[in-house]
Structure formats: C-alpha cells, structure tokens
Amino acid sequence: DAGVIQSPRHEVTEMGQEVTLRCKPISGHNSLFWYRQTMMRGLELLIYFNNNVPIDDSGMPEDRFSAKMPNASFSTLKIQPSEPRDSAVYFCASSFGGTSYEQYFGPGTRLTVT
C-alpha cells in the first residue's frame, strides 16, 4: 500500500493564480483531513470529511479556500486566488473510524506563492 498520496509534491505559482492540491486516501479509510503547516502557526486542521461529507470546515481561513471530496478515493483543496501568505506545506491525512484511530499522513505539498 502506497499510503496517502498527494500531488503535486511541490507547487510554485504566482499571486492571483488558482491552485489545486490533490489527495488520495488509503483505501477503506472513511475520514479525510486537510492540514496546513507553517513556521508561525504550526500544524492546523483546515477541514475534514467523514464518508465524503464535510464535517468541520472551521479551520478554512477564508472563502478563497475550498475543498471537495467527490468520492471515497479522491479529495481536492483549491485556493482561488492564491496569495503569498498561503505559502505553506499542506498535508492530507486519512483514518478509519472515529477518535483514537490513527491518522495516516501523506508526504505533503509544499506550496510557494510569489
């Protein structure tokens, strides 16, 4: 099993452009999480899905950010338009079940907005 897959691994874009990050969770997992990691704020949960349904999006910073999970094997995080302050590492994680269940993290996407 390749684990959680994220693409691209690195993304460099100009301010104002649309950015789409992709995640494939581990097969059989029913929860998916998007995190953002920065030096200033550490690791923050942006949004999570349970059975493809968004459960908590209170961490999404603003309307420029949106996330979808059209099926159990795919999710996207979109930033439109992107800004330099969005530069960070974005992680996707998946788990099976509820609390106390281990979250499995992807390798992350390093986003740089110039």
Partner 1 sequence: AQRVTQPEKLLSVFKGAPVELKCNYSYSGSPELFWYVQYSRQRLQLLLRHISRESIKGFTADLNKGETSFHLKKPFAQEEDSAMYYCALSGRGAQKLVFGQGTRLTINP
Provide the binding-site residues for partner 1, judged by CB under 8 A.
Answer: 3-4, 31, 33, 35, 42-45, 48, 50, 55-56, 91, 93, 95, 98-108
Structure tokens at 6: 């994220």
Q: Is 48 or 65 the residue whose CB approaches partner 1 more closely? A: 48
Q: Is 13 or 45 the residue whose CB approaches partner 1 more closely? A: 45
Checking 46-55 for CB contacts under 8 A at 24+ apart, the result is 46/77, 47/77, 49/75
Q: Is 8 or 16 the residue whose CB approaches partner 1 more closely? A: 8
Q: Is 40 or 70 the residue whose CB approaches partner 1 more closely? A: 40
Cβ 93 to partner 1 shortest distance, Å: 8
Cβ 31 to partner 1 shortest distance, Å: 6
14, 20, 101, 28: CA torsion to nearest 10: -160
